[in-house]
Structure 1
Amino acid sequence: MLKRGFFAGLAAVLVAVAAPWPAAAEAVRVGITPTGVPFTFVDTATQKPAGAMVDLATAIAADAGLTAEFQVNAFPALIPALTTDRIDLISASMFVTEKRKEVIDFSTPVYSYGEIMFVSAQDPKNYKIAELKGGVIGAPIGSTFADALQKLGLFKEVKLYDSIADIVRDVRLGRIKAGFGDRPIVAYQLAQQPDLGVRLVEGYQPMKEGQIALAVAKNNPKLLQAVNTAIDRLQRSGQLQKIFARYGL
Protein backbone atom coordinates (compact mmCIF):
# COMPACT_ATOMS: atom_id res chain seq x y z
CA MET A 1 0.00 0.00 0.00
CA LEU A 2 1.35 3.44 -0.84
CA LYS A 3 1.91 5.71 2.16
CA ARG A 4 -0.99 7.65 3.69
CA GLY A 5 0.83 10.93 3.46
CA PHE A 6 1.50 10.31 -0.20
CA PHE A 7 -2.19 9.71 -0.90
CA ALA A 8 -3.21 12.76 1.11
CA GLY A 9 -1.18 14.88 -1.28
CA LEU A 10 -2.47 12.87 -4.20
CA ALA A 11 -6.09 13.68 -3.38
CA ALA A 12 -5.46 17.39 -3.68
CA VAL A 13 -3.69 16.96 -6.98
CA LEU A 14 -6.49 14.81 -8.41
CA VAL A 15 -9.13 17.34 -7.46
CA ALA A 16 -7.11 20.24 -8.79
CA VAL A 17 -5.93 18.96 -12.15
CA ALA A 18 -7.58 15.55 -12.66
CA ALA A 19 -4.13 14.00 -13.14
CA PRO A 20 -2.75 10.76 -11.70
CA TRP A 21 0.05 10.41 -9.18
CA PRO A 22 2.44 13.33 -8.89
CA ALA A 23 6.10 12.68 -9.55
CA ALA A 24 7.50 10.76 -6.60
CA ALA A 25 10.14 8.18 -5.83
CA GLU A 26 7.42 5.71 -4.81
CA ALA A 27 7.06 2.18 -6.16
CA VAL A 28 3.83 0.35 -6.90
CA ARG A 29 3.89 -3.40 -6.25
CA VAL A 30 2.40 -5.22 -9.22
CA GLY A 31 1.29 -8.85 -9.08
CA ILE A 32 1.72 -10.93 -12.24
CA THR A 33 1.70 -14.64 -13.16
CA PRO A 34 4.69 -16.52 -14.63
CA THR A 35 2.72 -18.56 -17.18
CA GLY A 36 0.29 -16.11 -18.84
CA VAL A 37 2.16 -15.72 -22.13
CA PRO A 38 1.85 -13.30 -23.90
CA PHE A 39 0.18 -11.22 -21.16
CA THR A 40 2.55 -11.98 -18.27
CA PHE A 41 5.52 -14.32 -18.06
CA VAL A 42 9.14 -14.53 -16.98
CA ASP A 43 11.55 -14.20 -19.90
CA THR A 44 13.83 -17.24 -19.78
CA ALA A 45 16.75 -15.34 -21.28
CA THR A 46 16.70 -12.42 -18.84
CA GLN A 47 14.74 -13.96 -15.93
CA LYS A 48 12.75 -10.72 -15.85
CA PRO A 49 8.98 -10.18 -16.06
CA ALA A 50 7.70 -9.64 -19.60
CA GLY A 51 4.45 -9.50 -21.56
CA ALA A 52 1.72 -7.08 -22.60
CA MET A 53 0.30 -6.54 -19.11
CA VAL A 54 3.82 -6.09 -17.73
CA ASP A 55 4.52 -3.41 -20.34
CA LEU A 56 1.15 -1.82 -19.61
CA ALA A 57 1.77 -1.66 -15.85
CA THR A 58 5.22 -0.21 -16.53
CA ALA A 59 3.68 2.46 -18.79
CA ILE A 60 1.02 3.32 -16.20
CA ALA A 61 3.66 3.68 -13.50
CA ALA A 62 5.87 5.79 -15.78
CA ASP A 63 2.88 8.01 -16.59
CA ALA A 64 2.63 8.66 -12.85
CA GLY A 65 6.34 9.13 -12.28
CA LEU A 66 6.54 5.87 -10.31
CA THR A 67 8.42 2.59 -10.57
CA ALA A 68 6.63 -0.73 -11.05
CA GLU A 69 8.00 -3.52 -8.85
CA PHE A 70 6.76 -6.89 -10.12
CA GLN A 71 5.94 -9.82 -7.88
CA VAL A 72 5.36 -13.22 -9.47
CA ASN A 73 2.43 -15.24 -8.11
CA ALA A 74 0.40 -18.25 -9.19
CA PHE A 75 -2.86 -17.00 -10.71
CA PRO A 76 -5.09 -18.17 -7.80
CA ALA A 77 -2.81 -16.30 -5.35
CA LEU A 78 -3.17 -12.89 -7.00
CA ILE A 79 -6.41 -11.78 -5.34
CA PRO A 80 -5.36 -12.98 -1.86
CA ALA A 81 -2.06 -11.13 -2.28
CA LEU A 82 -3.97 -7.95 -3.20
CA THR A 83 -6.49 -8.15 -0.36
CA THR A 84 -3.78 -8.79 2.25
CA ASP A 85 -1.66 -5.80 1.14
CA ARG A 86 1.22 -7.82 -0.29
CA ILE A 87 0.75 -6.12 -3.66
CA ASP A 88 -0.92 -2.87 -4.73
CA LEU A 89 -2.03 -3.80 -8.24
CA ILE A 90 -2.85 -6.88 -10.33
CA SER A 91 -1.84 -6.68 -13.98
CA ALA A 92 -2.55 -10.06 -15.57
CA SER A 93 -5.00 -11.77 -17.91
CA MET A 94 -7.78 -11.57 -15.29
CA PHE A 95 -11.40 -11.34 -16.40
CA VAL A 96 -13.73 -8.85 -14.80
CA THR A 97 -16.49 -10.84 -13.06
CA GLU A 98 -19.25 -9.93 -10.62
CA LYS A 99 -17.88 -12.41 -8.09
CA ARG A 100 -14.41 -10.86 -8.20
CA LYS A 101 -15.88 -7.36 -8.02
CA GLU A 102 -17.26 -8.26 -4.61
CA VAL A 103 -13.73 -8.33 -3.18
CA ILE A 104 -11.59 -6.17 -5.52
CA ASP A 105 -12.04 -3.17 -7.81
CA PHE A 106 -11.25 -3.29 -11.52
CA SER A 107 -9.88 -0.59 -13.78
CA THR A 108 -11.27 0.36 -17.17
CA PRO A 109 -11.11 -2.84 -19.30
CA VAL A 110 -8.06 -2.98 -21.56
CA TYR A 111 -8.62 -6.13 -23.67
CA SER A 112 -11.29 -8.77 -24.35
CA TYR A 113 -11.27 -12.41 -25.46
CA GLY A 114 -12.76 -15.86 -24.82
CA GLU A 115 -11.48 -19.37 -24.25
CA ILE A 116 -10.28 -21.88 -26.87
CA MET A 117 -10.34 -25.68 -27.05
CA PHE A 118 -7.26 -27.70 -28.03
CA VAL A 119 -6.71 -31.40 -28.63
CA SER A 120 -3.85 -33.73 -29.55
CA ALA A 121 -2.21 -32.93 -32.87
CA GLN A 122 -2.92 -36.57 -33.75
CA ASP A 123 -6.68 -36.09 -33.25
CA PRO A 124 -8.23 -34.77 -36.50
CA LYS A 125 -11.74 -34.12 -35.16
CA ASN A 126 -12.92 -30.55 -34.52
CA TYR A 127 -15.16 -31.16 -31.52
CA LYS A 128 -18.12 -29.27 -30.23
CA ILE A 129 -18.36 -29.25 -26.43
CA ALA A 130 -21.34 -31.63 -26.41
CA GLU A 131 -19.23 -34.24 -28.25
CA LEU A 132 -16.88 -34.45 -25.26
CA LYS A 133 -19.68 -35.67 -22.99
CA GLY A 134 -18.46 -38.24 -20.48
CA GLY A 135 -14.81 -37.46 -21.11
CA VAL A 136 -12.09 -35.88 -18.99
CA ILE A 137 -11.02 -32.36 -19.94
CA GLY A 138 -8.65 -29.80 -18.45
CA ALA A 139 -8.86 -26.10 -17.61
CA PRO A 140 -6.80 -23.59 -15.59
CA ILE A 141 -7.72 -23.40 -11.92
CA GLY A 142 -9.42 -20.12 -11.02
CA SER A 143 -10.46 -19.34 -14.62
CA THR A 144 -14.02 -18.24 -15.33
CA PHE A 145 -14.47 -20.86 -18.03
CA ALA A 146 -13.38 -23.66 -15.66
CA ASP A 147 -16.44 -22.84 -13.56
CA ALA A 148 -18.61 -22.66 -16.68
CA LEU A 149 -17.39 -26.06 -17.89
CA GLN A 150 -18.09 -27.64 -14.52
CA LYS A 151 -21.60 -26.20 -14.45
CA LEU A 152 -22.39 -27.83 -17.79
CA GLY A 153 -22.42 -31.22 -16.07
CA LEU A 154 -21.33 -32.96 -19.27
CA PHE A 155 -17.98 -34.36 -18.32
CA LYS A 156 -16.68 -37.22 -16.25
CA GLU A 157 -14.21 -34.72 -14.80
CA VAL A 158 -12.96 -31.19 -15.33
CA LYS A 159 -9.36 -31.42 -14.12
CA LEU A 160 -7.95 -28.14 -12.85
CA TYR A 161 -4.35 -27.16 -13.56
CA ASP A 162 -1.94 -24.49 -12.40
CA SER A 163 -0.68 -23.72 -15.91
CA ILE A 164 -1.49 -24.08 -19.60
CA ALA A 165 1.78 -25.99 -20.03
CA ASP A 166 0.50 -28.73 -17.71
CA ILE A 167 -2.77 -29.01 -19.66
CA VAL A 168 -0.88 -29.19 -22.96
CA ARG A 169 1.29 -32.00 -21.58
CA ASP A 170 -1.71 -34.10 -20.48
CA VAL A 171 -3.55 -33.54 -23.78
CA ARG A 172 -0.45 -34.58 -25.72
CA LEU A 173 0.01 -37.70 -23.57
CA GLY A 174 -3.65 -38.66 -23.89
CA ARG A 175 -4.40 -38.28 -20.18
CA ILE A 176 -7.29 -35.94 -20.98
CA LYS A 177 -9.40 -35.63 -24.13
CA ALA A 178 -9.20 -31.87 -24.58
CA GLY A 179 -7.87 -28.78 -22.91
CA PHE A 180 -9.27 -25.29 -22.56
CA GLY A 181 -7.35 -22.08 -22.10
CA ASP A 182 -7.33 -18.35 -22.74
CA ARG A 183 -7.46 -17.99 -26.53
CA PRO A 184 -4.60 -15.48 -27.01
CA ILE A 185 -2.37 -17.28 -24.51
CA VAL A 186 -2.76 -20.71 -26.09
CA ALA A 187 -2.60 -19.35 -29.66
CA TYR A 188 0.60 -17.41 -28.90
CA GLN A 189 2.29 -20.41 -27.29
CA LEU A 190 1.42 -22.70 -30.20
CA ALA A 191 2.63 -20.10 -32.70
CA GLN A 192 5.95 -19.87 -30.87
CA GLN A 193 6.26 -23.64 -30.34
CA PRO A 194 4.40 -25.50 -33.11
CA ASP A 195 5.91 -28.83 -31.99
CA LEU A 196 4.03 -28.94 -28.65
CA GLY A 197 1.91 -31.80 -29.91
CA VAL A 198 -1.50 -30.14 -29.68
CA ARG A 199 -3.63 -28.07 -32.04
CA LEU A 200 -6.46 -25.58 -31.77
CA VAL A 201 -9.96 -26.90 -32.52
CA GLU A 202 -11.14 -25.09 -35.64
CA GLY A 203 -14.54 -23.41 -35.49
CA TYR A 204 -14.73 -23.47 -31.69
CA GLN A 205 -17.02 -20.76 -30.35
CA PRO A 206 -16.17 -19.56 -26.82
CA MET A 207 -18.88 -19.88 -24.18
CA LYS A 208 -18.33 -16.28 -23.19
CA GLU A 209 -16.16 -13.34 -24.18
CA GLY A 210 -14.56 -11.68 -21.17
CA GLN A 211 -12.89 -8.36 -20.51
CA ILE A 212 -9.57 -8.10 -18.72
CA ALA A 213 -8.55 -5.20 -16.54
CA LEU A 214 -6.08 -4.28 -13.85
CA ALA A 215 -7.27 -4.57 -10.24
CA VAL A 216 -6.73 -2.78 -6.95
CA ALA A 217 -7.92 -3.37 -3.40
CA LYS A 218 -11.28 -1.91 -2.44
CA ASN A 219 -9.67 0.35 0.16
CA ASN A 220 -7.50 2.01 -2.49
CA PRO A 221 -9.83 4.17 -4.64
CA LYS A 222 -7.18 6.81 -5.31
CA LEU A 223 -4.90 4.27 -6.93
CA LEU A 224 -7.82 3.05 -9.06
CA GLN A 225 -8.58 6.59 -10.20
CA ALA A 226 -4.94 7.19 -11.07
CA VAL A 227 -4.70 3.91 -13.03
CA ASN A 228 -7.86 4.74 -14.98
CA THR A 229 -6.55 8.21 -15.80
CA ALA A 230 -3.31 6.71 -17.12
CA ILE A 231 -5.21 4.09 -19.17
CA ASP A 232 -7.32 6.84 -20.73
CA ARG A 233 -4.21 8.77 -21.76
CA LEU A 234 -2.57 5.63 -23.16
CA GLN A 235 -5.71 4.84 -25.18
CA ARG A 236 -5.97 8.35 -26.60
CA SER A 237 -2.29 8.42 -27.54
CA GLY A 238 -2.45 5.01 -29.24
CA GLN A 239 0.21 3.60 -26.92
CA LEU A 240 -2.19 1.04 -25.40
CA GLN A 241 -2.88 -0.49 -28.81
CA LYS A 242 0.85 -0.55 -29.62
CA ILE A 243 1.61 -2.42 -26.38
CA PHE A 244 -0.80 -5.23 -27.23
CA ALA A 245 0.23 -5.31 -30.89
CA ARG A 246 3.80 -5.89 -29.78
CA TYR A 247 2.70 -9.35 -28.59
CA GLY A 248 0.45 -10.19 -31.53
CA LEU A 249 -2.74 -9.28 -29.67
Structure 2
Amino acid sequence: MKGFRKGLFSLCALLISGALIAGCGSKPAEQPAASGNGGTAAAAPTDEVLQKIKDTKTLLVGTDATFQPFEYKNAQNEYEGFDIELVKAVAAELGAEKVEFVDTDFKGLIPGLQGKKFDMIVSAMYITDERKQTIDFSQPYYPGGLTIMVKNENDTIKGAEDLKGKKVAVQIGTKSAKFLKEKYPEVKLVEVEKNVEMFLELESNRVDAVVTGMPAAKVYAKQSQKVKVLDVELTQEYYGYGVRKENKEFVVALDKALKTLKENGKQDEIVKKWFGE
Protein backbone atom coordinates (compact mmCIF):
# COMPACT_ATOMS: atom_id res chain seq x y z
CA MET A 1 0.00 0.00 0.00
CA LYS A 2 2.84 2.32 0.87
CA GLY A 3 4.50 1.64 -2.49
CA PHE A 4 1.27 2.33 -4.34
CA ARG A 5 0.83 5.72 -2.59
CA LYS A 6 4.44 6.66 -3.30
CA GLY A 7 4.02 5.82 -6.97
CA LEU A 8 0.77 7.78 -7.21
CA PHE A 9 2.42 10.83 -5.60
CA SER A 10 5.31 10.67 -8.08
CA LEU A 11 2.89 10.46 -11.01
CA CYS A 12 0.93 13.54 -9.83
CA ALA A 13 4.12 15.52 -9.35
CA LEU A 14 5.21 14.62 -12.86
CA LEU A 15 1.89 15.73 -14.36
CA ILE A 16 1.94 19.05 -12.51
CA SER A 17 5.51 19.70 -13.56
CA GLY A 18 4.64 19.03 -17.19
CA ALA A 19 1.67 21.38 -17.05
CA LEU A 20 3.86 24.16 -15.69
CA ILE A 21 6.45 23.67 -18.42
CA ALA A 22 3.75 23.69 -21.10
CA GLY A 23 2.28 26.84 -19.59
CA CYS A 24 5.58 28.66 -19.88
CA GLY A 25 5.62 28.13 -23.60
CA SER A 26 2.02 29.20 -24.26
CA LYS A 27 1.00 32.57 -25.72
CA PRO A 28 0.07 35.40 -23.34
CA ALA A 29 -3.59 36.30 -22.98
CA GLU A 30 -5.05 38.50 -25.72
CA GLN A 31 -4.92 42.24 -24.85
CA PRO A 32 -7.62 44.77 -25.77
CA ALA A 33 -7.12 46.19 -29.24
CA ALA A 34 -5.42 49.57 -29.28
CA SER A 35 -7.18 52.59 -30.73
CA GLY A 36 -5.96 54.37 -33.81
CA ASN A 37 -4.06 56.98 -31.80
CA GLY A 38 -1.89 54.39 -30.07
CA GLY A 39 -3.87 54.22 -26.81
CA THR A 40 -6.59 51.91 -25.67
CA ALA A 41 -10.04 52.30 -27.18
CA ALA A 42 -11.98 55.24 -25.69
CA ALA A 43 -14.79 54.35 -23.35
CA ALA A 44 -18.29 55.18 -24.46
CA PRO A 45 -19.76 58.34 -22.87
CA THR A 46 -21.93 57.70 -19.84
CA ASP A 47 -23.67 61.10 -20.20
CA GLU A 48 -26.96 60.91 -22.09
CA VAL A 49 -26.40 64.09 -24.12
CA LEU A 50 -22.80 63.24 -25.03
CA GLN A 51 -23.91 59.78 -26.16
CA LYS A 52 -26.68 61.35 -28.23
CA ILE A 53 -24.18 63.69 -29.92
CA LYS A 54 -21.91 60.71 -30.64
CA ASP A 55 -24.79 58.72 -32.15
CA THR A 56 -26.62 61.45 -34.09
CA LYS A 57 -23.92 64.13 -34.61
CA THR A 58 -26.64 66.62 -33.64
CA LEU A 59 -27.05 69.09 -30.76
CA LEU A 60 -30.57 70.27 -29.88
CA VAL A 61 -30.67 73.83 -28.50
CA GLY A 62 -33.54 75.75 -26.89
CA THR A 63 -33.54 79.51 -27.50
CA ASP A 64 -35.86 82.52 -27.53
CA ALA A 65 -34.92 83.96 -30.91
CA THR A 66 -36.10 87.52 -30.24
CA PHE A 67 -33.05 89.03 -28.57
CA GLN A 68 -30.71 90.78 -30.98
CA PRO A 69 -27.78 90.53 -31.30
CA PHE A 70 -27.68 87.29 -29.31
CA GLU A 71 -30.35 85.23 -31.07
CA TYR A 72 -32.96 86.18 -33.65
CA LYS A 73 -34.34 85.19 -37.06
CA ASN A 74 -33.36 87.08 -40.20
CA ALA A 75 -35.55 87.91 -43.20
CA GLN A 76 -35.07 84.36 -44.48
CA ASN A 77 -36.28 82.96 -41.14
CA GLU A 78 -32.77 81.69 -40.38
CA TYR A 79 -31.26 81.79 -36.91
CA GLU A 80 -28.56 84.40 -36.46
CA GLY A 81 -26.71 86.14 -33.64
CA PHE A 82 -23.78 85.93 -31.27
CA ASP A 83 -25.20 83.00 -29.30
CA ILE A 84 -26.12 81.16 -32.49
CA GLU A 85 -22.66 81.45 -34.00
CA LEU A 86 -20.78 80.68 -30.79
CA VAL A 87 -22.81 77.58 -29.93
CA LYS A 88 -22.26 76.22 -33.45
CA ALA A 89 -18.52 76.51 -32.82
CA VAL A 90 -18.97 74.83 -29.43
CA ALA A 91 -21.00 72.04 -31.03
CA ALA A 92 -18.23 71.38 -33.56
CA GLU A 93 -15.75 71.00 -30.69
CA LEU A 94 -18.13 68.44 -29.14
CA GLY A 95 -18.26 66.43 -32.36
CA ALA A 96 -21.72 67.59 -33.48
CA GLU A 97 -22.04 68.30 -37.19
CA LYS A 98 -25.46 69.94 -36.89
CA VAL A 99 -27.23 72.25 -34.43
CA GLU A 100 -31.02 72.27 -34.35
CA PHE A 101 -32.72 75.20 -32.60
CA VAL A 102 -36.07 75.01 -30.83
CA ASP A 103 -37.60 78.51 -30.66
CA THR A 104 -39.22 78.83 -27.22
CA ASP A 105 -40.56 81.73 -25.14
CA PHE A 106 -37.95 82.66 -22.54
CA LYS A 107 -40.19 81.72 -19.62
CA GLY A 108 -40.58 78.23 -21.11
CA LEU A 109 -36.89 77.49 -21.62
CA ILE A 110 -36.14 75.93 -18.23
CA PRO A 111 -39.34 73.81 -18.20
CA GLY A 112 -38.54 72.76 -21.78
CA LEU A 113 -35.02 71.73 -20.79
CA GLN A 114 -36.29 69.72 -17.83
CA GLY A 115 -38.87 68.09 -20.12
CA LYS A 116 -36.02 67.07 -22.49
CA LYS A 117 -37.36 69.05 -25.44
CA PHE A 118 -33.75 70.07 -26.09
CA ASP A 119 -30.25 69.29 -24.80
CA MET A 120 -29.30 72.74 -23.52
CA ILE A 121 -30.39 76.39 -23.28
CA VAL A 122 -28.54 79.02 -25.30
CA SER A 123 -30.47 82.26 -24.94
CA ALA A 124 -28.47 85.04 -23.24
CA MET A 125 -29.50 83.53 -19.91
CA TYR A 126 -27.90 84.96 -16.80
CA ILE A 127 -26.34 82.57 -14.31
CA THR A 128 -28.28 83.14 -11.09
CA ASP A 129 -28.49 81.35 -7.74
CA GLU A 130 -32.23 80.91 -8.20
CA ARG A 131 -31.84 79.19 -11.57
CA LYS A 132 -29.00 77.05 -10.25
CA GLN A 133 -31.48 75.43 -7.88
CA THR A 134 -33.18 73.74 -10.84
CA ILE A 135 -30.54 73.57 -13.60
CA ASP A 136 -26.75 73.64 -13.97
CA PHE A 137 -24.72 76.12 -16.00
CA SER A 138 -21.58 76.08 -18.05
CA GLN A 139 -18.80 78.49 -17.19
CA PRO A 140 -19.66 82.11 -18.12
CA TYR A 141 -19.13 82.85 -21.81
CA TYR A 142 -19.92 86.58 -21.91
CA PRO A 143 -20.48 89.42 -19.41
CA GLY A 144 -23.83 91.12 -19.28
CA GLY A 145 -25.29 93.29 -16.55
CA LEU A 146 -28.58 95.18 -16.44
CA THR A 147 -28.94 98.76 -17.59
CA ILE A 148 -31.62 101.36 -18.34
CA MET A 149 -32.84 102.46 -21.76
CA VAL A 150 -34.94 105.61 -22.32
CA LYS A 151 -36.01 107.81 -25.23
CA ASN A 152 -33.35 110.21 -26.51
CA GLU A 153 -35.22 113.27 -25.25
CA ASN A 154 -35.73 111.90 -21.73
CA ASP A 155 -33.44 113.71 -19.28
CA THR A 156 -35.45 113.02 -16.12
CA ILE A 157 -34.32 109.42 -15.65
CA LYS A 158 -30.65 109.22 -14.77
CA GLY A 159 -30.54 106.12 -12.57
CA ALA A 160 -32.50 103.40 -10.82
CA GLU A 161 -33.95 105.72 -8.18
CA ASP A 162 -35.60 107.74 -10.91
CA LEU A 163 -37.58 104.69 -12.02
CA LYS A 164 -39.79 104.80 -8.93
CA GLY A 165 -43.38 105.46 -9.92
CA LYS A 166 -42.53 105.13 -13.62
CA LYS A 167 -43.69 102.52 -16.13
CA VAL A 168 -40.81 100.21 -17.00
CA ALA A 169 -40.92 97.43 -19.57
CA VAL A 170 -39.23 94.08 -18.85
CA GLN A 171 -39.42 90.62 -20.37
CA ILE A 172 -41.29 87.98 -18.38
CA GLY A 173 -39.09 85.49 -16.56
CA THR A 174 -35.87 87.50 -16.86
CA LYS A 175 -33.48 88.85 -14.26
CA SER A 176 -34.72 92.36 -15.09
CA ALA A 177 -38.20 91.59 -13.78
CA LYS A 178 -36.90 89.88 -10.64
CA PHE A 179 -34.41 92.66 -9.94
CA LEU A 180 -36.99 95.45 -10.08
CA LYS A 181 -39.58 93.53 -8.08
CA GLU A 182 -37.09 92.93 -5.29
CA LYS A 183 -35.11 96.17 -5.29
CA TYR A 184 -37.59 98.73 -6.57
CA PRO A 185 -41.16 97.59 -5.82
CA GLU A 186 -42.43 101.13 -6.47
CA VAL A 187 -41.73 100.70 -10.18
CA LYS A 188 -44.80 100.03 -12.33
CA LEU A 189 -43.70 96.95 -14.24
CA VAL A 190 -44.98 96.28 -17.73
CA GLU A 191 -44.07 92.64 -18.44
CA VAL A 192 -44.04 91.51 -22.07
CA GLU A 193 -43.51 88.15 -23.75
CA LYS A 194 -40.87 89.09 -26.31
CA ASN A 195 -37.75 91.16 -25.94
CA VAL A 196 -38.51 93.33 -28.98
CA GLU A 197 -41.85 94.27 -27.41
CA MET A 198 -39.99 96.10 -24.63
CA PHE A 199 -38.32 98.40 -27.13
CA LEU A 200 -41.55 99.00 -29.05
CA GLU A 201 -43.33 99.88 -25.80
CA LEU A 202 -40.65 102.50 -25.18
CA GLU A 203 -40.57 103.94 -28.70
CA SER A 204 -44.36 104.29 -28.70
CA ASN A 205 -44.25 106.12 -25.32
CA ARG A 206 -46.32 103.47 -23.54
CA VAL A 207 -43.54 103.10 -20.96
CA ASP A 208 -40.96 105.49 -19.58
CA ALA A 209 -38.00 103.12 -19.67
CA VAL A 210 -36.73 99.62 -20.34
CA VAL A 211 -34.47 97.56 -18.08
CA THR A 212 -32.54 94.85 -19.91
CA GLY A 213 -29.07 93.46 -20.58
CA MET A 214 -26.48 96.06 -21.55
CA PRO A 215 -24.97 94.37 -24.65
CA ALA A 216 -28.31 93.93 -26.39
CA ALA A 217 -29.52 97.38 -25.29
CA LYS A 218 -26.49 99.09 -26.84
CA VAL A 219 -26.87 97.26 -30.14
CA TYR A 220 -30.57 98.10 -30.38
CA ALA A 221 -30.01 101.77 -29.50
CA LYS A 222 -27.42 102.03 -32.26
CA GLN A 223 -29.87 100.59 -34.78
CA SER A 224 -32.91 102.54 -33.60
CA GLN A 225 -31.45 106.04 -33.15
CA LYS A 226 -34.61 106.84 -31.11
CA VAL A 227 -33.43 105.56 -27.75
CA LYS A 228 -30.33 105.75 -25.61
CA VAL A 229 -28.67 103.54 -23.01
CA LEU A 230 -27.74 105.20 -19.76
CA ASP A 231 -24.19 104.84 -18.53
CA VAL A 232 -25.53 102.92 -15.54
CA GLU A 233 -24.73 99.34 -14.56
CA LEU A 234 -27.51 98.11 -12.28
CA THR A 235 -25.99 94.64 -11.83
CA GLN A 236 -22.95 92.63 -12.84
CA GLU A 237 -24.12 89.46 -14.52
CA TYR A 238 -22.72 86.71 -16.74
CA TYR A 239 -24.34 84.61 -19.43
CA GLY A 240 -24.07 80.81 -19.33
CA TYR A 241 -25.45 77.72 -21.06
CA GLY A 242 -28.27 75.99 -19.18
CA VAL A 243 -27.98 72.21 -18.74
CA ARG A 244 -29.97 69.56 -16.87
CA LYS A 245 -28.50 68.69 -13.48
CA GLU A 246 -27.99 65.04 -14.38
CA ASN A 247 -25.70 65.92 -17.32
CA LYS A 248 -22.53 66.67 -15.32
CA GLU A 249 -20.17 65.26 -17.97
CA PHE A 250 -21.84 67.40 -20.61
CA VAL A 251 -21.12 70.54 -18.54
CA VAL A 252 -17.45 69.53 -18.31
CA ALA A 253 -17.35 69.03 -22.09
CA LEU A 254 -18.97 72.43 -22.69
CA ASP A 255 -16.45 74.17 -20.46
CA LYS A 256 -13.60 72.43 -22.26
CA ALA A 257 -14.99 73.49 -25.65
CA LEU A 258 -15.41 77.12 -24.53
CA LYS A 259 -11.84 77.12 -23.18
CA THR A 260 -10.53 75.84 -26.51
CA LEU A 261 -12.42 78.51 -28.48
CA LYS A 262 -11.07 81.20 -26.17
CA GLU A 263 -7.51 79.97 -26.47
CA ASN A 264 -7.53 79.63 -30.26
CA GLY A 265 -9.10 83.07 -30.75
CA LYS A 266 -12.34 81.88 -32.35
CA GLN A 267 -14.55 83.25 -29.57
CA ASP A 268 -12.90 86.67 -29.76
CA GLU A 269 -13.56 86.75 -33.51
CA ILE A 270 -17.26 86.09 -32.90
CA VAL A 271 -17.42 88.72 -30.12
CA LYS A 272 -15.82 91.31 -32.39
CA LYS A 273 -18.25 90.50 -35.21
CA TRP A 274 -21.35 91.06 -33.09
CA PHE A 275 -20.27 93.62 -30.50
CA GLY A 276 -17.27 95.38 -32.04
CA GLU A 277 -13.99 95.97 -30.21
TM-score bracket, shorter-length normalisation: 0.7 to 0.9
- The higher radius of gyration belongs to 2
Give the SS at the match of 1:166.
helix
Q: Which of the numbers 41, 44, 47 marks the counterpart of 2:72?
A: 41
Partner of 1:9: 44
Asked whether the equivalents of residues 10 and 22 of structure 1 are also in contact (C-alpha less than 8 Å), the reply is no
Asked whether the equivalents of residues 20 and 64 of structure 1 are also in contact (C-alpha less than 8 Å), the reply is no
Q: Tell me the CA shift for residue 75 of structure 1.
A: 1.1
Deviations 1:81-100 (A, max 9, x none): 10000000111200001111
Q: Tell me the CA shift for residue 173 of structure 1.
A: 2.4
Partner of 2:229: 200
Question: CA 1:134–1:125 in 2, change beyond 3 Å: closer, same or farther?
Answer: closer
Question: CA 1:103–1:21 in 2, change beyond 3 Å: closer, same or farther?
Answer: same
Deviations 1:54-88 (A, max 9, x none): 11111111112212111111111111110000000
Partner of 1:5: none
Partner of 2:256: 229
Q: TM-score, normalising length from structure 1?
A: 0.85
Partner of 1:220: 247
Give the SS at the match of 1:98.
coil
Deviations 1:12-64 (A, max 9, x none): 9xxxxxx99986542110111111111111122x2111111111111111112
Q: Tell me the CA shift for residue 154 of structure 1.
A: 4.7
Tell me the matched-pair count: 231
Is 2:95 the counterpart of 1:65? yes
Q: Distance in 2 between matches of 1:147 and 1:127?
A: 21
Over aligned residues, Cα RMSD in angstroms?
2.3
Partner of 2:109: 78
Deviations 1:157-207 (A, max 9, x none): 21111223212222222222211111111111221232xx32223x32x22
Partner of 1:161: 192
Q: Runs of 4+ in structure 1 displaced over 4 angstroms?
A: 19-24
Q: Which amino acid aligns with 1:233?
A: T
Q: TM-score, normalising length from structure 2?
A: 0.77
Asked whether the equivalents of residues 172 and 192 of structure 2 are also in contact (C-alpha less than 8 Å), the reply is yes
Is 2:81 the counterpart of 1:51? yes
Is 2:124 the counterpart of 1:93? yes
Fraction of identical pairs, as percent: 23
Gapped regions of structure 2 (runs ≥ 5): 1-42
Asked whether the equivalents of residues 57 and 91 of structure 1 are also in contact (C-alpha less than 8 Å), the reply is yes
Give the SS at the match of 1:9.
coil
Q: Tell me the CA shift for residue 224 of structure 1.
A: 1.6
Gapped regions of structure 1 (runs ≥ 5): 1-7, 13-18
Q: Which amino acid aligns with 1:55?
A: E
More contact order relative to length (CA 8 Å, sep ≥ 6): 1
